[in-house]
A = this chain, B = another copy of it.
Amino acid sequence: MITYIIVKCENHDYAKNRRAMSNKNNKNKAVRLSDVAAEANVSVITASRAMRAPEMVTPETRARVAAAVSSLGYVPNPAAQALASARSRIIGVVIPSLTNQIFGDLLSGVMDALEGGPYTPQFVNTRYRLSREEDLLRIFATQRPAGMIVVGIDQTETARNLLRDMACPVVQVMETGSDPIDMIVGCDQRAAGREAVAHLLEQGYRNIGFLGARMDPRAQRRLAGYHDALADHGIRADANRVVTTPQPSSFTIGGQLLSDLLARAPDTDAVFCNNDDVALGALFECQRRGISVPHQMGIVGFNDLDVVSSSVPTITSVRTHRYDTGRQAVRMILAALAGEEISARHIDAGFDLMARQSTARRGPAPGATS
Protein backbone atom coordinates (compact mmCIF):
# COMPACT_ATOMS: atom_id res chain seq x y z
CA MET A 1 0.00 0.00 0.00
CA ILE A 2 2.82 2.41 0.85
CA THR A 3 5.08 3.44 -1.95
CA TYR A 4 8.49 4.95 -1.50
CA ILE A 5 9.70 6.89 -4.48
CA ILE A 6 13.28 7.98 -4.54
CA VAL A 7 13.30 11.47 -5.91
CA LYS A 8 16.88 12.61 -5.50
CA CYS A 9 20.08 11.22 -4.07
CA GLU A 10 22.97 13.12 -2.58
CA ASN A 11 24.84 12.83 0.68
CA HIS A 12 25.67 15.44 3.27
CA ASP A 13 28.40 15.24 5.87
CA TYR A 14 27.03 16.82 9.00
CA ALA A 15 30.33 16.49 10.87
CA LYS A 16 32.12 18.24 8.04
CA ASN A 17 29.61 21.08 8.06
CA ARG A 18 30.07 21.43 11.76
CA ARG A 19 33.83 21.61 11.42
CA ALA A 20 33.60 24.10 8.60
CA MET A 21 31.41 26.30 10.72
CA SER A 22 33.65 26.28 13.74
CA ASN A 23 36.64 27.29 11.64
CA LYS A 24 34.91 30.13 9.87
CA ASN A 25 36.04 33.00 12.16
CA ASN A 26 34.37 31.38 15.15
CA LYS A 27 31.31 32.66 13.39
CA ASN A 28 29.04 30.03 14.78
CA LYS A 29 30.66 29.49 18.13
CA ALA A 30 28.18 29.66 20.96
CA VAL A 31 28.25 32.68 23.23
CA ARG A 32 29.30 31.61 26.70
CA LEU A 33 28.62 33.11 30.07
CA SER A 34 32.25 34.22 30.25
CA ASP A 35 31.74 36.27 27.09
CA VAL A 36 28.81 38.01 28.72
CA ALA A 37 30.85 38.61 31.86
CA ALA A 38 33.70 40.12 29.89
CA GLU A 39 31.34 42.35 27.95
CA ALA A 40 29.65 43.54 31.13
CA ASN A 41 32.94 43.87 32.98
CA VAL A 42 31.97 41.59 35.85
CA SER A 43 32.96 38.14 37.01
CA VAL A 44 31.34 35.09 35.56
CA ILE A 45 29.52 34.31 38.74
CA THR A 46 28.12 37.82 38.98
CA ALA A 47 26.80 37.55 35.47
CA SER A 48 25.24 34.23 36.40
CA ARG A 49 23.67 35.70 39.53
CA ALA A 50 22.34 38.70 37.65
CA MET A 51 20.22 36.27 35.65
CA ARG A 52 19.27 33.69 38.21
CA ALA A 53 18.94 35.84 41.34
CA PRO A 54 18.62 39.46 40.25
CA GLU A 55 17.97 40.65 43.79
CA MET A 56 21.50 39.68 44.80
CA VAL A 57 23.22 42.18 42.52
CA THR A 58 22.92 45.93 42.23
CA PRO A 59 20.43 47.19 39.70
CA GLU A 60 23.30 48.80 37.87
CA THR A 61 25.25 45.58 37.26
CA ARG A 62 22.03 43.83 36.49
CA ALA A 63 21.40 46.28 33.69
CA ARG A 64 24.94 45.95 32.34
CA VAL A 65 24.63 42.18 32.28
CA ALA A 66 21.23 42.36 30.65
CA ALA A 67 22.66 44.61 27.96
CA ALA A 68 25.56 42.24 27.36
CA VAL A 69 23.20 39.27 27.18
CA SER A 70 21.01 40.84 24.55
CA SER A 71 23.81 42.36 22.50
CA LEU A 72 25.66 39.05 22.36
CA GLY A 73 22.51 36.97 22.08
CA TYR A 74 23.54 34.74 24.94
CA VAL A 75 21.52 31.60 25.59
CA PRO A 76 22.64 29.32 28.43
CA ASN A 77 23.88 25.83 27.64
CA PRO A 78 21.46 23.46 29.32
CA ALA A 79 23.93 20.57 29.37
CA ALA A 80 26.47 22.62 31.29
CA GLN A 81 23.81 23.86 33.68
CA ALA A 82 22.60 20.36 34.32
CA LEU A 83 26.08 18.98 34.83
CA ALA A 84 27.21 21.68 37.22
CA SER A 85 24.04 21.83 39.27
CA ALA A 86 23.09 18.15 39.13
CA ARG A 87 19.63 19.33 38.09
CA SER A 88 18.15 19.60 34.63
CA ARG A 89 15.30 21.85 33.52
CA ILE A 90 13.39 18.83 32.31
CA ILE A 91 9.89 17.99 33.49
CA GLY A 92 9.35 14.32 32.74
CA VAL A 93 5.86 13.35 31.61
CA VAL A 94 4.99 9.67 31.58
CA ILE A 95 1.81 8.73 29.71
CA PRO A 96 0.49 5.34 28.63
CA SER A 97 -0.40 6.18 25.03
CA LEU A 98 -0.28 8.90 22.44
CA THR A 99 -2.93 7.61 20.08
CA ASN A 100 -5.69 8.39 22.53
CA GLN A 101 -6.93 11.95 22.20
CA ILE A 102 -7.29 12.45 25.93
CA PHE A 103 -3.53 12.29 26.44
CA GLY A 104 -3.06 14.83 23.69
CA ASP A 105 -5.30 17.16 25.68
CA LEU A 106 -3.30 16.53 28.83
CA LEU A 107 -0.02 17.20 27.03
CA SER A 108 -1.39 20.41 25.55
CA GLY A 109 -2.15 21.66 29.03
CA VAL A 110 1.31 20.74 30.22
CA MET A 111 3.01 22.39 27.27
CA ASP A 112 0.96 25.56 27.49
CA ALA A 113 1.59 25.96 31.21
CA LEU A 114 5.32 25.49 30.69
CA GLU A 115 5.54 27.88 27.78
CA GLY A 116 7.85 30.83 28.27
CA GLY A 117 9.39 29.40 31.43
CA PRO A 118 12.79 27.77 31.75
CA TYR A 119 11.47 24.23 32.01
CA THR A 120 10.99 21.80 29.14
CA PRO A 121 8.60 18.85 29.12
CA GLN A 122 9.87 15.50 27.99
CA PHE A 123 7.22 12.95 27.07
CA VAL A 124 7.54 9.21 27.16
CA ASN A 125 5.07 6.49 26.37
CA THR A 126 4.69 3.34 28.46
CA ARG A 127 2.19 1.66 26.14
CA TYR A 128 0.34 0.62 29.25
CA ARG A 129 3.21 -1.58 30.41
CA LEU A 130 4.32 -1.23 34.01
CA SER A 131 7.75 -2.72 33.36
CA ARG A 132 8.34 -0.19 30.64
CA GLU A 133 7.29 2.55 33.01
CA GLU A 134 10.02 1.45 35.39
CA ASP A 135 12.63 1.43 32.64
CA LEU A 136 11.61 4.90 31.53
CA LEU A 137 11.80 6.21 35.07
CA ARG A 138 15.31 4.82 35.40
CA ILE A 139 16.29 6.74 32.29
CA PHE A 140 14.69 9.89 33.64
CA ALA A 141 16.58 9.45 36.89
CA THR A 142 19.87 9.92 35.04
CA GLN A 143 18.62 13.25 33.77
CA ARG A 144 17.95 14.64 37.22
CA PRO A 145 14.58 16.05 36.20
CA ALA A 146 13.20 19.20 37.81
CA GLY A 147 9.81 17.55 38.18
CA MET A 148 7.79 14.53 37.12
CA ILE A 149 4.21 14.04 35.96
CA VAL A 150 2.89 10.49 35.75
CA VAL A 151 -0.52 9.23 34.71
CA GLY A 152 -2.50 7.26 37.24
CA ILE A 153 -1.88 5.78 40.63
CA ASP A 154 -1.05 2.22 39.70
CA GLN A 155 2.71 2.42 39.63
CA THR A 156 4.64 -0.56 40.93
CA GLU A 157 6.40 -0.17 44.25
CA THR A 158 9.69 -0.01 42.34
CA ALA A 159 8.35 2.82 40.20
CA ARG A 160 7.16 4.70 43.26
CA ASN A 161 10.58 4.41 44.81
CA LEU A 162 12.29 5.55 41.65
CA LEU A 163 10.06 8.60 41.63
CA ARG A 164 10.74 9.36 45.27
CA ASP A 165 14.48 8.97 44.78
CA MET A 166 14.43 11.63 42.09
CA ALA A 167 13.93 14.06 44.96
CA CYS A 168 11.83 16.37 42.82
CA PRO A 169 8.16 17.33 42.79
CA VAL A 170 6.04 14.47 41.46
CA VAL A 171 2.44 14.85 40.35
CA GLN A 172 0.17 11.93 39.56
CA VAL A 173 -2.62 12.92 37.19
CA MET A 174 -6.04 11.79 35.91
CA GLU A 175 -7.13 10.21 39.18
CA THR A 176 -7.65 10.92 42.84
CA GLY A 177 -6.30 8.76 45.62
CA SER A 178 -5.51 8.78 49.28
CA ASP A 179 -1.90 7.68 49.05
CA PRO A 180 -0.16 9.73 46.39
CA ILE A 181 3.59 9.67 45.97
CA ASP A 182 3.77 13.43 46.41
CA MET A 183 0.98 15.46 44.77
CA ILE A 184 -2.04 14.49 42.71
CA VAL A 185 -4.63 16.11 40.47
CA GLY A 186 -7.43 14.41 38.60
CA CYS A 187 -10.91 13.11 39.04
CA ASP A 188 -12.52 10.22 40.84
CA GLN A 189 -13.05 7.77 38.01
CA ARG A 190 -15.19 5.45 40.07
CA ALA A 191 -17.51 8.21 41.27
CA ALA A 192 -17.78 9.44 37.70
CA GLY A 193 -18.77 5.98 36.48
CA ARG A 194 -21.31 5.74 39.23
CA GLU A 195 -22.87 9.06 38.32
CA ALA A 196 -23.06 8.12 34.66
CA VAL A 197 -24.96 4.93 35.42
CA ALA A 198 -27.12 6.67 38.03
CA HIS A 199 -28.19 9.02 35.25
CA LEU A 200 -29.27 6.08 33.09
CA LEU A 201 -31.27 4.68 36.01
CA GLU A 202 -32.95 8.05 36.56
CA GLN A 203 -33.93 8.10 32.93
CA GLY A 204 -35.74 4.84 33.48
CA TYR A 205 -33.30 2.41 31.89
CA ARG A 206 -33.00 -0.84 33.82
CA ASN A 207 -31.07 -3.42 31.78
CA ILE A 208 -27.86 -1.49 31.62
CA GLY A 209 -24.70 -2.89 30.08
CA PHE A 210 -21.06 -1.85 30.20
CA LEU A 211 -18.83 -1.66 27.13
CA GLY A 212 -15.12 -1.38 27.74
CA ALA A 213 -12.05 -1.46 25.51
CA ARG A 214 -8.46 -1.56 26.69
CA MET A 215 -9.61 -1.74 30.32
CA ASP A 216 -6.72 0.16 31.81
CA PRO A 217 -6.89 0.97 35.54
CA ARG A 218 -9.12 3.99 35.00
CA ALA A 219 -11.55 1.95 32.94
CA GLN A 220 -11.59 -0.66 35.70
CA ARG A 221 -12.57 2.01 38.20
CA ARG A 222 -15.34 3.26 35.98
CA LEU A 223 -16.60 -0.30 35.81
CA ALA A 224 -16.54 -0.42 39.60
CA GLY A 225 -18.63 2.76 39.56
CA TYR A 226 -21.10 1.00 37.25
CA HIS A 227 -21.49 -1.75 39.84
CA ASP A 228 -21.82 0.82 42.62
CA ALA A 229 -24.72 2.54 40.87
CA LEU A 230 -26.55 -0.71 40.22
CA ALA A 231 -26.07 -1.71 43.83
CA ASP A 232 -27.34 1.70 44.97
CA HIS A 233 -30.61 0.96 43.19
CA GLY A 234 -30.77 -2.61 44.44
CA ILE A 235 -30.27 -4.01 40.97
CA ARG A 236 -28.39 -7.26 40.70
CA ALA A 237 -25.55 -6.99 38.19
CA ASP A 238 -25.67 -9.41 35.29
CA ALA A 239 -22.18 -10.53 34.23
CA ASN A 240 -23.47 -11.04 30.68
CA ARG A 241 -23.99 -7.34 30.35
CA VAL A 242 -20.37 -6.46 31.01
CA VAL A 243 -18.50 -6.77 27.73
CA THR A 244 -14.83 -5.84 27.61
CA THR A 245 -11.79 -6.38 25.46
CA PRO A 246 -8.11 -5.75 26.05
CA GLN A 247 -7.82 -4.25 22.55
CA PRO A 248 -7.20 -0.51 22.32
CA SER A 249 -10.37 1.50 22.18
CA SER A 250 -11.57 2.79 18.84
CA PHE A 251 -14.78 3.70 17.13
CA THR A 252 -14.81 0.40 15.33
CA ILE A 253 -14.43 -1.67 18.47
CA GLY A 254 -17.41 0.15 19.99
CA GLY A 255 -19.68 -1.36 17.37
CA GLN A 256 -18.26 -4.83 17.91
CA LEU A 257 -18.69 -4.61 21.66
CA LEU A 258 -22.32 -3.61 21.28
CA SER A 259 -22.90 -6.53 18.90
CA ASP A 260 -21.38 -8.90 21.43
CA LEU A 261 -23.52 -7.47 24.18
CA LEU A 262 -26.73 -7.82 22.18
CA ALA A 263 -25.85 -11.39 21.32
CA ARG A 264 -25.44 -12.21 24.98
CA ALA A 265 -28.19 -10.08 26.47
CA PRO A 266 -30.70 -8.97 23.81
CA ASP A 267 -32.94 -7.20 26.28
CA THR A 268 -30.27 -4.64 27.17
CA ASP A 269 -31.78 -1.16 27.03
CA ALA A 270 -28.77 1.06 27.74
CA VAL A 271 -24.98 1.03 27.77
CA PHE A 272 -22.36 2.88 29.75
CA CYS A 273 -19.25 3.05 27.59
CA ASN A 274 -15.72 3.15 28.77
CA ASN A 275 -15.12 6.25 26.64
CA ASP A 276 -16.56 8.32 23.83
CA ASP A 277 -14.89 6.37 21.05
CA VAL A 278 -16.70 3.26 22.14
CA ALA A 279 -19.93 5.20 22.67
CA LEU A 280 -19.94 6.65 19.17
CA GLY A 281 -19.09 3.26 17.71
CA ALA A 282 -22.03 1.82 19.63
CA LEU A 283 -24.30 4.57 18.32
CA PHE A 284 -23.27 3.76 14.75
CA GLU A 285 -23.98 0.09 15.37
CA CYS A 286 -27.47 1.00 16.61
CA GLN A 287 -28.04 3.01 13.45
CA ARG A 288 -26.93 0.06 11.35
CA ARG A 289 -29.33 -2.23 13.19
CA GLY A 290 -32.18 0.25 13.21
CA ILE A 291 -32.19 0.48 16.99
CA SER A 292 -33.56 3.84 18.02
CA VAL A 293 -31.44 5.90 20.41
CA PRO A 294 -32.48 6.96 23.04
CA HIS A 295 -35.83 5.13 22.91
CA GLN A 296 -34.73 1.56 22.52
CA MET A 297 -31.19 2.10 23.69
CA GLY A 298 -29.61 4.71 25.96
CA ILE A 299 -25.93 5.50 25.51
CA VAL A 300 -23.50 7.24 27.84
CA GLY A 301 -19.88 7.92 26.93
CA PHE A 302 -16.93 9.19 28.89
CA ASN A 303 -14.59 12.18 28.49
CA ASP A 304 -16.87 14.44 26.50
CA LEU A 305 -14.80 14.69 23.36
CA ASP A 306 -15.96 17.33 20.91
CA VAL A 307 -17.57 14.72 18.66
CA VAL A 308 -20.27 13.61 21.11
CA SER A 309 -21.90 17.01 21.21
CA SER A 310 -22.31 17.17 17.44
CA SER A 311 -23.37 13.64 16.57
CA VAL A 312 -26.98 12.76 15.73
CA PRO A 313 -28.27 12.19 18.31
CA THR A 314 -25.84 13.99 20.63
CA ILE A 315 -24.33 11.64 23.19
CA THR A 316 -24.50 12.00 26.96
CA SER A 317 -21.01 11.90 28.41
CA VAL A 318 -18.97 12.66 31.50
CA ARG A 319 -16.77 15.67 30.95
CA THR A 320 -13.30 15.36 32.42
CA HIS A 321 -10.95 18.32 32.61
CA ARG A 322 -7.86 16.95 30.95
CA TYR A 323 -6.31 20.14 29.59
CA ASP A 324 -6.86 21.84 32.89
CA THR A 325 -5.40 18.88 34.74
CA GLY A 326 -2.20 19.24 32.71
CA ARG A 327 -1.96 22.94 33.50
CA GLN A 328 -2.67 22.36 37.14
CA ALA A 329 -0.02 19.65 37.43
CA VAL A 330 2.56 22.04 36.03
CA ARG A 331 1.48 24.81 38.37
CA MET A 332 1.90 22.52 41.34
CA ILE A 333 5.40 21.59 40.23
CA LEU A 334 6.43 25.19 39.57
CA ALA A 335 5.11 26.26 42.94
CA ALA A 336 7.03 23.48 44.67
CA LEU A 337 10.22 24.38 42.78
CA ALA A 338 9.76 28.01 43.76
CA GLY A 339 9.68 26.88 47.35
CA GLU A 340 6.16 28.15 47.82
CA GLU A 341 3.94 26.76 50.50
CA ILE A 342 1.77 24.30 48.64
CA SER A 343 -1.70 24.61 50.09
CA ALA A 344 -3.28 21.93 47.92
CA ARG A 345 -1.21 18.83 47.36
CA HIS A 346 -4.25 16.77 46.45
CA ILE A 347 -6.63 18.34 43.98
CA ASP A 348 -9.91 16.94 42.78
CA ALA A 349 -10.46 18.39 39.34
CA GLY A 350 -14.02 17.12 39.31
CA PHE A 351 -16.17 15.97 36.39
CA ASP A 352 -19.52 16.99 34.92
CA LEU A 353 -22.25 14.78 33.58
CA MET A 354 -23.37 16.27 30.28
CA ALA A 355 -26.89 14.96 29.68
CA ARG A 356 -27.77 14.91 25.98
CA GLN A 357 -30.13 13.31 23.52
CA SER A 358 -28.76 9.78 23.68
CA THR A 359 -30.30 9.28 27.11
CA ALA A 360 -33.35 11.57 26.83
CA ARG A 361 -35.92 8.82 27.00
CA ARG A 362 -38.29 10.75 29.22
CA GLY A 363 -39.05 14.44 28.99
CA PRO A 364 -38.01 16.68 26.14
CA ALA A 365 -34.65 15.97 24.57
CA PRO A 366 -31.99 18.48 25.49
CA GLY A 367 -30.89 20.62 22.55
CA ALA A 368 -28.04 19.58 20.31
CA THR A 369 -25.74 22.10 21.92
CA SER A 370 -23.88 20.70 24.89
Give A contacts to B, CB under 8 Å: 1-12, 14-15, 17-18, 21, 28, 30, 75-80, 82-83, 88, 98-99, 101, 103-105, 107-108, 111, 120-125, 138-139, 141-144, 165, 167-169, 176, 182, 250-252, 254-255, 277, 280-281, 284, 287-288, 306-307, 309-312, 321, 324, 336-337, 341-350, 352, 368
Assess A28 versus B165: contact at CB under 8 Å? Given A83-B79, A108-B99.
yes
How many Å from the CB of A351 to the closest CB on chain B?
A: 9
How many Å from the CB of A33 to the closest CB on chain B?
A: 12
Instruction: Enumerate 13 A-B pairs (CB-CB under 8 Å) in ascending A order.
Output: A5-B347, A5-B350, A76-B142, A78-B142, A79-B80, A104-B104, A251-B306, A252-B309, A252-B310, A254-B310, A255-B310, A277-B306, A277-B307
How many Å from the CB of A16 to the closest CB on chain B?
A: 9
Does the CB pair A14–B122 fall under 8 Å? no
Does the CB pair B77–A167 fall under 8 Å? no
Contacts of A79 in B (CB 8 A): 78-80, 82-83, 88, 143-144
Cβ-closest chain B residue relative to A138: B75
Does the CB pair B125–A349 fall under 8 Å? no
Given contact pairs A18-B167, A111-B124, enumerate 13 new A-B contacts (beta carbons under 8 Å): A2-B349, A2-B350, A4-B347, A5-B348, A6-B343, A12-B169, A12-B182, A14-B168, A77-B142, A98-B104, A98-B107, A98-B111, A123-B123
Cβ-closest chain B residue relative to A6: B344
In the docked arrangement, what's the CA distance between A124 and B112, Å?
Answer: 10
In the docked arrangement, what's the CA distance between A350 and B10, Å?
Answer: 22
Cβ-closest chain B residue relative to A8: B346
How many Å from the CB of A337 to the closest CB on chain B?
A: 8
How many Å from the CB of A302 to the closest CB on chain B?
A: 16
Does the CB pair A4–B336 fall under 8 Å? no
In the docked arrangement, what's the CA distance between A5 and B348, Å?
Answer: 5
In the docked arrangement, what's the CA distance between A319 and B11, Å?
Answer: 31
How many Å from the CB of A281 to the closest CB on chain B?
A: 6
Contacts of A306 in B (CB 8 A): 250-252, 277
In the docked arrangement, what's the CA distance between A139 and B284, Å?
Answer: 46
Contacts of A280 in B (CB 8 A): 307
In the docked arrangement, what's the CA distance between A321 and B4, Å?
Answer: 11
Does the CB pair A14–B169 fall under 8 Å? yes
Does the CB pair B14–A165 fall under 8 Å? no
Does the CB pair B252–A345 fall under 8 Å? no
Does the CB pair B10–A336 fall under 8 Å? no
In the docked arrangement, what's the CA distance between A337 and B121, Å?
Answer: 25
Contacts of A139 in B (CB 8 A): 75
**Among all A-B residue pairs, the 9 with the closest Cβ atoms:** A79-B82, A7-B346, A18-B167, A287-B312, A5-B348, A79-B83, A3-B350, A6-B344, A251-B307
